[in-house]
Amino acid sequence: MSDSQIRPTSTSGRSRWAAWALIGGAVMLAGGALVLARAHAEEKKAPEAAGTSYRPEKPTDDQVARGAKVFFKECVWCHGPEGAGDGPGALRLWPRPRNFNAGTFKIRTTASGELPTDDDLFLTVTNGLPGSAMPSWEGVLTEQQRKDVVAFVKTKMVKDRNFQDKDEEFHVISFDGQVPSSAESIKRGQDVFLNKGKCVQCHGPEGRGNGNLTQKDDWGFPIFPADLHQCYNFRGNRRDPYNPRNIFREVSTGLNGTPMPSFADVLTVQDRWDVANFVISLCPKVKIDPITVKPTINFVLTSDFVNGALPTTADDPKWNTVEPHFVGLGGQITRKPQNFNRRIEEVWVKSLYNKDSIAFLLEWDDRNESHAEGPNLPPPVNVADLTIPVAYYANKMVFDEVKDQFKDLYPGEKYPEPVIYNDAVEIQFPAEWQKLVAPERPFFILGDPIKPVDLWKWQSDGSVVAYTGHGINGANGDPEIVPRKTVIKAEDAHFKNGRWYVILTRSLKTDDKENDVQFDVNKYIPISFQAWDGDNGEAGARMSLSAWYYVVLKPLTPTKAYVYPFIMIGIVVGLQWWVIRKTQSIHNGNGGRSGAKKK
Amino acid sequence: MFWQPGMMPIQLLMTLGVIFVLFVIGHTFIKKTFGKGIPMLGQGALVMLAAYITFKFVITPPIPYSLLVTYMGLVGLVTALYISATEAQWSETKKPIINTLLGVTPTYRGVRAVAFVAIPLFMGWQTYTSIAPPKEFPEPPELRTVHPAPPQAIKVHDKNFTLQTAKNPFRVDAKGEYLEVGKEQAFFDSNPWDPKAEGYLKYVREGGAVFFRNCHFCHGDNLDGRGIFAYAWRPIPANLADPGTIAQLQETFVFWRISKGGMNAPREINPWDSAMPPWEEHLATDDIWKVALFEYWHTGFFPRTWD
């Protein structure tokens, strides 16, 4: 081949590159189009068009038969064989499972008092109702199965209404005119919340669901307004907790069966979007675990060093240097007395330390500030009996009305009078964590006889004690509280608008090495938390508690970390200089031994 | 690309061979086109880079780090041998380095300046990060055994059960005959809420009632270990619908674990972390057998048997 053919000329070379660029670009476009097409195909089908034209599908007999099979395997246990929300599981659930018979459904896109659309019910089954025992059935039931069971429930379990009745109206709301979130929208929404919509009356001055605690649902069971700071617990969040569409929908349609009305006549569309944006702004922005629809839990919390004194108030700006840490609490059902219907589900923790002491700021939502009416003795073991219905402790104020209702539902059961105890919170550490070989720890429920725990307990009567936990005393079902001399300080413990704020402080080291946890910097120290809601019958071992976490006192950067790098830079520069000099002497002094160019 | 998961070492060698041939052809082409080839040091670097890309990104499934180090070490060794094989090749390899060190042209002087500022700064930075305390504190991994060896016998409510031989008393058909493991499949599609259900199916319903009053708070309505308390526990509750849990176990093993709970289980499961209640403190023995029956019915698994 001649040179001119091998060596590309400028034009043919350019055209070759151009050809490749064109092919490459075409491939990328095709790929991009494919990706977009797939994304569109996977999009959920669009919701029903707004207006009154919607009519539900009439389920076929086949669908209803298939749905029955699903229902009697998966759903009957809570919802009951007649769909009356009285299955065996309903005994200990609050909120109770839905009673389908009246056709009353909470989460809909239809106007207040109307039946839901098929898609509303399908989405409820698919996404579940977070904050309740209704799980997401996606992944467990196929799409067809979920549609079938909806068909079955609509046809056989809704007894007082008929979806196909010509007189049933379906005014599907429109989501048009969404106002994007902004500081102005949130401010307007706050005004709606306080004044025009008067949401504070039920949801409380800070929206923590503590405005009205005497309400009942359509079936006469106690019901509380939602705590708007826990958007991941909203029934209708469709596993998308930060989406204002959910709030807009609830405010526009009301939640049938509950005291939550529709505000469509009172608030304009813009008002409702503004208040939706405001409500979403109340919820802490955290990473949500898609399966549990709860904040993802990091089991290591850190304590930051501060110069000077530790803060003694909850609003001290020093606390702003740390992010609040989410701690999840489950009900203690391992030992008696079992607490199936715990009220406190989470505690937010911040920690700071200085050269002497460590402080923990604990914040948690509690609708009612509780103080013990008598001596704060824990309930005897047999009070939290198998047979006590769960909503019993929901609200003392309506207890008398509810009591008679339960007598009919669960005849022959014992209903002792409700007792109010102190609200309380507790931090737990292994007493001698340094002696433990990881991952061994004391039993997380208040320790065990061989490996005791150091417990710091604060109660709403202002008392704070340090005591040692050896586990739950099986006979009495509660831990023995024998206060030790160690001083734990409780600072700024106060209840405000449905939230408790407590700071617990102690010195890093104490003299009692055997019983007091000793804090070292840069070590993983096991820590866990317990909480009591006094008007939920919680005291002693009847409590909410967390798993073992770790707390690490973050070490400061030592001075040598700033000095040694410069020493290293100096050494390396010296080495470089030496290498260059050596090379120069080899190659210039001996007249180009290795063939390097001279000039 | 041309690499499929599961390809054998011969295909790996062939892939590398193809890359090598392509490289030689490409290099020859460049030499002919531009008059000179890539300097030896550059060739060596390109070979290492191409090998790294192949091992890390082309081969699927990903190979372990130790294997990557071994392969790169081999390639590095061969490359080093090649670029130093003869005196001429070795001096050609060294040339760019020496030119940089000596700064023979303005370009080389520029490269030298940049490198000799970057290297000390990099070393200083490495020193700092190795001395400064960590900023991140990851959760330490904690291993535990999920299926410990069961004891030979247990005592529940004053009654002894030898785990190898005990049978679930509620695993009976409508006539009261024992249902051999496997035979209950006939009922997997049936409705336990049928008022006429007797025997196995009726006990499944009663076990379900027990489950949904006691167990579903942790183990979930789907028995997948995602109940309403599950997010708070560590470790999370067992996923009974997973083929790695009750499907692997004898029914008496499940009976033992339910009765005695986590806090009384062998040390290797990390009992200090277990929220699993010792249900003998809360339930009758019959309830425990029935709930085990219900779990197998709902998940569609069979307990493990000797035959």
Specify the pTM.
0.83
Residue A450 shares a structural domain with residue A366: yes
Q: What is the DSSP code string of A329-375?
A: -EE--SSSSP-TT-S--EEEEEEEE-SSEEEEEEEEE-SS----SS-
Please tell me if residue B106 touches chain A, with a CB cutoff of 8 Å: no
Query: Is 60 exceeded by the pLDDT of residue B164?
Result: yes
Structure tokens at A12: 């043919």
- Do A313 and A284 share a domain, yes or no? no
Identify whether A226 is part of a domain.
yes
Q: Residue B267's closest chain A neighbor by CA? A: A440
What pLDDT is recorded for position A93?
86
Nearby residues of A1 by Cβ (< 8 Å), 6 or more positions away = none
Q: From the centroid of its chain, how far is CA A451?
A: 31
The SS3 of residue A5 is helix
For tokens 């014992």, the residue is A414
**pLDDT value at residue B34:** 83
Closest CA to B258 of B207, B222, B302: B207
The answer to the question of residue A256 being in a domain is: yes
* Sequence letter at residue B273: D
A573 in the same domain as A523: no
Q: pLDDT digit string (tens) for B25-66?
A: 988 888 888 877 788 888 889 889 988 988 888 777 788 999
Q: What is the pLDDT of residues B94-151, one digit of tens each?
A: 888 888 888 888 988 999 999 999 999 999 999 999 999 998 999 998 889 989 999 9
Residue A6 has pLDDT above 90, yes or no: no
In this structure, are A231 and A323 located in the same domain?
no
Q: Which of B124, B217, B232 sits opposite A328 (nearest CB)?
A: B232
Residues A87 and A226 in one domain: no
| A24 lies in some domain | no
Strand partners, B160: B155
Mean pLDDT, rounded, for A425-443: 94
Q: Does B142 touch chain A (CB under 8 A)?
A: yes
Q: Residue A14: which pLDDT band, with cuts at 50, 70 and 90? A: low
How far apart (Å, rounded) are the C-alpha atoms in residues A326 and A364? 10
Position A44 in a domain: no
| Per-residue pLDDT at A417 | 63
Q: A535: which DSSP letter? A: G
Which of A186 and A591 is assigned the larger pLDDT? A186
Q: Which residue of B has its CA nearest to A132?
A: B228
Q: Is residue A67 part of a domain?
A: yes
Domain that holds residue A521: 297-379+419-553
Gap from B67 CA to chain A (nearest CA, Å): 31
Query: Which among A401, A376, A392 has a CA at the least distance from the CA of A532?
Result: A376
Q: What percentage of chain A has pLDDT greater than the value 90?
A: 68
Helices (DSSP H) in A114-213: which residue ranges?
118-127, 143-152, 183-191, 200-203
Same domain membership, residue A312 and residue A190: no
If you count DSSP H runs as helices and E runs as strands, how many of each does chain B have, helices first? 9, 2
Domain match, A68 and A120 both? yes
Q: For residue A178, give Cα distances in angstroms to A235, A236, A273, A275.
A: 21, 18, 6, 12
Phi and psi at A121, nearest 5°, equal -70, -40
Query: Which tens digits make up the pLDDT trace of A204-215?
Result: 999 999 998 888
Look up residue A138 and give its DSSP letter: B
Q: Chain A residue closest to B95 (CA)?
A: A596
Q: Spell out which residues of chain B touch residue A68, defining contact as CB-CB under 8 Å.
A: 191
| A146 and A251 both lie in a single domain | no
Cβ pair A362, A346 in contact under 8 A = no
* CA dist., res. A441 & res. B278, Å (int): 19
The predicted pLDDT at position A415 comes to: 57
Cβ-based neighbours of A30, under 8 Å, separated by 6 or more: none
**Position A12 in a domain:** no
A188 within some domain: yes
Domain count, chain A: 4
> Which has the closest alpha carbon to B294: B179, B199, B211?
B211
Structure tokens at B60: 């699927």
Full set of structural domains in chain B with CATH = 9-102 (no CATH), 153-299 (1.10.760.10)
Q: Do A587 and B98 touch (CB under 8 A)?
A: yes
Instruction: Work out the mean pLDDT of chain A and round it to a whole number.
Output: 87
Test the A interface: residue of B101, B108, B270, B280 with most A CBs within 10 Å = B101
Gap between the Cα atoms of A241 and A296, Å rounded? 13
Residue with tokens 């460049």: B30
Mutation choice for A interface testing from B272, B276, B288 by most A CBs within 10 A: B272
Residue A203 lies in a domain: yes
Are A513 and A430 part of one and the same domain?
A: yes
Q: Are residues A145 and A71 both part of a single domain?
A: yes
**For position A192, which CATH number holds?**
1.10.760.10
Say whether both A438 and A569 belong to one domain: no
- Assess whether pLDDT exceeds 50 at residue A535: yes
The burial of A465, by beta-carbon neighbours within 10 Å (0-12 exposed, 13-18 middle, 19 or more buried), is given as: middle
| A468 and A511 share one domain | yes
User: Which pLDDT does position A43 carry in this prediction?
Assistant: 40
Q: Which residues pair with A469 in a beta bridge?
A: A453
DSSP notation for B239-301: -TTSTTTGGGS-HHHHHHHHHHTTTTS-GGG-GGG-----GGGTS-HHHHHHHHHHHHHHHT-
Q: Does B191 sit within 8 Å of A69, measured CB to CB?
A: yes
pLDDT > 90 fraction of chain B, expressed in percent and rounded: 66
Count of alpha carbons within 13 angstroms of residue A375, beta-carbon side: 3
Chain B residues with CB-CB distance to A78 below 8 A = 212, 221
